[in-house]
Structure 1
Amino acid sequence: MSGFTRARSAALVLASAAAAAVLAAPSAVAAPEPIVGGTTTTTSAYPFVMQITDASQNQFCGGTLVAPTKVVTAAHCMVGETTRSVRVVGGRTNLNGTNGTVAKVSRIWVNPDYTDATNGDDVAVLTLSTSMPYAPVKYVSASDTGVYATGASARILGWGTTRENGSSSNQLRTATVPLVSDSSCRTSYGSDFVASDMVCAGLPSGGVDTCQGDSGGPLLLGGVLAGITSWGEGCARAGYPGVYTRLTTFSGLVSAQVNS
C-alpha cells in the first residue's frame, strides 16, 4: 500500500490536546487536510456533518448523518474501537466548543471485507443511542453510478489538518474538488487503486484536498453523499488526488444497517 489513511492516531490527538488544547494532531501516517486549501464553514450550513470522537470528545475522524440514529464513516476509523470508546458530536462547528449534541454509540458495524492491507471496502455505520436533532443527508443508491463523471465537482468537509503533517482546523472547513478519471487515478496509485471500491478527486496541481483527521467525512456530489474520505499519498500533493470510498458499491450494505 503506497498511500495512507486520513485518520489521526489517538495517542497523538491526546498529546496535542495536552500541549495546546487544539484537537487534531496528525498521526504518523499521512493524509489530506481540514481540508487543505479550503474555507471555513459551519454545521448550520452542513448539519449532517458529525465529529467522531473518543469518550473525552477529542475528535479523530468525521462522519455523515444519514438517519436520526445512523452515521456513515470509514471502516479504518473504527479499527480497535468499541461502543464505549466512541462518541458522535453533532451541531458543533468548533472543536473547542461545548455546544451541539453528544451521542453515545450503541452499535458499530464495520464492513467485514475491510482490510488495512488494501484500504478497500472502507465503510462503517454507527448506530447512536439517541437521535440527532439535525437534518440527515441522502446517500447514493447502487444505481447512481453516473454521479462519478470525470470532472464533476465534489464537496469535501472536515476538521482535519490544513497541510500535510500540520495542525488541525478548530473550525469546520470545506472545499470543492473535481473527480478524477479512474485511469488517471490508476496512473497515480497503480494497483492500490481499485475502481470498484474507490473514486479519486483533486486538482492535477494539488493544493486542495482532505487530510489527517478528515477520514470518514463526506464527499458530496449534487448535495448527496457519494463518497467517504479514505486515503491518499500525503495531502494535496500534485499528481496524487484524494481517494474516497465509492459509496454506490456499498449502498446496499449501508441501507441494511440504516434500516436495522
Structure 2
Amino acid sequence: MSEKKPRRRRWWILGPVLVLLAPIVLYAPFLVWEYTRPQPDPVPGSGQVSTAAAPWVVVIGNPKTYADSPSNKLCVGTLVAPKAVVTAAHCLGSEPADLTITVGRDDLRGNSGKVVRVAATWRDPGYAKGIAEESFAGGMFGQVRLASADIGLITLAEPVDTPALPLADSPAGGSAATVYGWRMSPDDQPLLWQAPTTVAEDAECVRRAADSVRFIPPRWHGVSYEQAAYLCVGAERAIRLRATDSGSPVVVGGKLAGVASWSGSVDPAAPDYYTRVAHYQSQLRTLIDAIR
C-alpha cells in the first residue's frame, strides 16, 4: 500500500497540468495558421524599390531583442523631419537606448546606409488607455473595441541628411496610395518593396472590421474602432504586411497618410488598417517643432 500513495499524488499533480495543456494543444494549429497564412498574389505594379526613391522609409531596430533579424528589424518608420520618425505606438515599448534607426538600406541583409541612435520616444497616451480597456472575454463573445491612438514619434540622437515626408491631411476614399514595407515580396525577402493601392471608403472599412474573425484573441468576433483614428487600404485587393512591418507608411499624394497598425482578419483578401495621421497631425507637429 505504501508504494501506491506516491503514484496517486503524482496523478493528482498530472491531472491539473493536462487540463491546462489541453487548450494550448488544441489552439496551436490556429496559432500556426495565423502566423503562416498565405500571402495574396502581388498587386500589379508592385515590386522592389530603392531607398533612393523612398529615402524617408526607415528601419526601427532593436539589437537586443531582434539580434537574429536582418538589421535587427523590429518595425518600420517614416522620417518626417531630420530628427523625427513617425511609427506605430505598439512599436515603442522598448527603452529608447535599446532602439536604432537605419536609413538608406534597401536589402536588410547588407550594411549599407546609416545607423542612428534613438534619443527619445513618445507614444500617444490614448493608446495605452485603449489597450487597458480591451477585453479578452469581449473578443470571445462579441466585438472588441480597438485601442485608438496607435501612433508614436521617435527622436533621433542626431539629424540625418535625408529627405523627409510631410504629413498628409485626411485622404478621401478612392484616393490612389502606395504602401511600403520590407517583408512584402512573395518570397518574404528582406527587401524594400512598394505596392500601389487605394484608400477605402470609411463605411467599407468599418463593415469589414466588424465582420472580421481572427484566431488569436482578443479579436475573434469582429472589431469596432474609432473611425476618425484609422483608415484602411486594399479593400478591393489586399496587400498583406507581415509581422515586423508595423509602422510602415501608406503614402497619398507624396505625403504620409497612414501608419500600419493592424489587420482585421486571416482572410488574405481583407484590408489592412492604418492609423490616420491627419487625426494626430496637430500633436505631431507640436512635438516635431519642439525637437532640436
Q: TM-score, normalised by structure 1?
A: 0.78
Residue 158 of structure 2 aligns to which amino acid in structure 1? T
Partner of 2:225: 193
Change (3 A) 1:77 1:39: same
In terms of fraction of residues, the more helix-rich structure is 2
**1:104 maps to 2:117:** yes
Aligned positions, number:
224
Residue 69 of structure 1 aligns to which amino acid in structure 2? K
Match of 2:190 among 170, 173, 179: 170
Contact 1:161 1:212 in 2 (8 A): no
Match of 2:173 among 140, 150, 153: 150
Partner of 1:59: 73
In terms of fraction of residues, the more strand-rich structure is 1
Residue 96 of structure 1 aligns to which amino acid in structure 2? R
Residue 73 of structure 2 aligns to which amino acid in structure 1? Q
Q: Cα distance, 1:124 vs. partner?
A: 0.4
| Residue deviations 1:68-99 (CA, integer Å, cap 9, x gap) | 110000001112x0112110000111111111
Match of 1:76 among 59, 81, 90: 90
Counterpart CA distance in 1 for 2:183 and 2:196 is 15
**1:233 maps to 2:268:** no
Which of the pair has more CA radius of gyration? 2
Counterpart CA distance in 1 for 2:275 and 2:33 is 21
Match of 1:180 among 200, 204, 207: 200
The share of aligned pairs that are identical, in percent, is 28
Contact 1:200 1:241 in 2 (8 A): yes
Q: Cα distance, 1:160 vs. partner?
A: 2.4
Counterpart CA distance in 1 for 2:48 and 2:271 is 21
Name the SS for the 1:215 alignment partner: coil
CA RMSD of aligned residues (A): 2.6
Q: Cα distance, 1:51 vs. partner?
A: 0.4
Change (3 A) 1:225 1:30: farther
Match of 1:50 among 38, 43, 58: 58
Counterpart CA distance in 2 for 1:225 and 1:168 is 24
| Residue deviations 1:174-231 (CA, integer Å, cap 9, x gap) | 0011111111111111252321100011042x34333322211111110101110111
> 228-237 vs 57-66, which deviates more?
228-237
Change (3 A) 1:218 1:235: farther
Contact 1:207 1:236 in 2 (8 A): no
